[in-house]
Amino acid sequence: MKYLSTRGDTTPRHFCEILLEGLAPDGGLYLPQAYPKVDAATLARWRQLPYADLAYEILSLYIDDIPAGDLKALVARTYTQATFGTPAIVPVRALGDTGLHIEALSNGPTLAFKDMAMQLLGNLFEYELGRRGEELNILGATSGDTGSAAEYAMRGKRGVRVFMLSPNGRMSPFQQAQMFSLQDENIHNIAVEGVFDDAQDIVKAVSNDLAFKRTHKIGTVNSINWARLLAQVVYYFAGYFQVTEKDTDQVSFCVPSGNFGNVCAGHVARSMGLPIKHLVVATNENDVLDEFFRTGIYRVRKGAETHETSSPSMDISKASNFERFVFDLLGRDGARTRELFGSQIERDGRFELSPAEFARIAEFGFQSGKSTHADRVATIRSTWERHQTMIDTHTADGVKVAAERVEPGVPMIVLETALPAKFAETIREALGREPERPAGLEGIEGLPKRFTVMPPDAAQVKAFIAEHTGLGR
């Protein structure tokens, strides 16, 4: 299996090369040259497998430069009941007879779905760096959950440092505490005075400085890293098997989305042959993606236009992972993708698909919807009252939009994004009570914090990285 760039660079690269690289040299994102296809017989065989074995079967289709025994051991070490709290790893529960189901993805160390991929990424990084005798400096941006998941996965890992950017003051107190309370020497938190998109722009600017990137061995764990997205493909298959009986049955998935990485993994699963009828994108008030799927217009918002909401991990107005889907939508036309995401976005802050391009969206099964603060409060309340199930604010966005799109006879699986404990303020508003916290996380907000505040300036971030890697400026 070889990989190419969405912006036209077809130089073939193996998995472990792009694992450590992040963005392609031409600024594009990596995708496999073709998606491997699975048939009903393969699905029938996979249906019987434990999660770790299922993950190995899927990952091995995309990874041919790690020996099979080593890959199997890495996956088995990642997906354990001890780490994720249940032998099913991602158990699915029905919401009564509504046709809606919730797939639990948030039982890992940081109580968010990002753990599903990040725990594997930490083991893959340590393995490959050890094999090469090299080090890696991970640069990432987070709107809330990616940062803590990355830091908990990488803390103490040999040969790895993490430099994580987040929007200063815009995460929930619990999310901030999870990241800023870590005292590990290889973890560095940078609070950027701006919004998430400012932090994300810095990551891209540093990644596009090829000389700095190579000198300082910069890698990424954001959803632009193909390995992370690949790990997320697995739980679409696992969820499908739990709500179907026959390997031709269809399901739909509703995915709360800001950066498009989570739902893009569903697009990959569907492209492989998993019988997904619809992939429903649920946004909050920052509705860039909903606007696109309704109109064919992708319009990036500026920082001042990005709403600060009660589902803060989706407060994103520039979906960095969106380029992968558009590349496939355009028939894998790298020049056209480069035109849209390069020159047009840089010049106009927007692009619009042609009528023929827009018409193709239906072929990929995508739908979308939007949720507001009032919607999510009402959804949290009704889900608790009707089903005795407490959900977080982002999952509530998904449940609200899923209820509008569910079809008779087609199970609709909402991907849970986090546990309610991470967003206690809104839970109190909706239910008049505190969310339960897993043991050991009581009082986390009161722990000593270690972080650095910076303006949204790529040059200052580069200087900070240089200083803390011992390589000078």
Per-residue pLDDT of 57-76, as tens digits, reads: 999 999 999 999 999 999 99
Does residue 302 carry a pLDDT above 70? yes
Residue 325 lies in a domain: yes
Domains: count for the chain: 1
Q: Tell me the two tokens of residue 15.
A: 């998995």
Confirm whether 114 is a catalytic residue.
yes
Per-residue pLDDT of 359-368, as tens digits, reads: 999 999 999 9
Per-residue pLDDT of 375-396, as tens digits, reads: 999 999 999 999 999 999 999 9
Residue 213 lies in a domain: no
Residue 101 lies in a domain: yes
Per-residue pLDDT of 159-172, as tens digits, reads: 899 999 999 998 88
Residue 178 lies in a domain: no
Residue 272 lies in a domain: yes
Please tell me the distance from the alpha carbon of residue 202 to that of residue 443, in angstroms, as a whole number: 32
| Main-chain dihedrals φ then ψ at residue 452, nearest 5 degrees | -125, 130
Give the residue-averaged pLDDT of 279-286: 97
- The model's pTM: 0.91
Per-residue pLDDT of 432-447, as tens digits, reads: 999 988 877 778 889 9
CB-based burial label for 317 (10 Å; 0-12, 13-18, 19+): buried
Please tell me the distance from the alpha carbon of residue 36 to that of residue 58, in angstroms, as a whole number: 9
CA pseudo-torsion sign 280, 285, 289, 290: positive
Q: Tell me the two tokens of residue 332.
A: 């894998």
Per-residue pLDDT of 225-241, as tens digits, reads: 899 999 999 999 999 99
Residue 192 lies in a domain: no
Please tell me the distance from the alpha carbon of residue 89 to that of residue 104, in angstroms, as a whole number: 8
Residue 452 lies in a domain: no
CATH number for the domain including 358?
3.40.50.1100
Owning domain of residue 268: 89-110+228-431
CA distances from 369 to 251, 274, 414 (A): 18, 23, 13
Q: Which of these is catalytic: 2, 37, 114, 246?
A: 114
Residue 207 lies in a domain: no
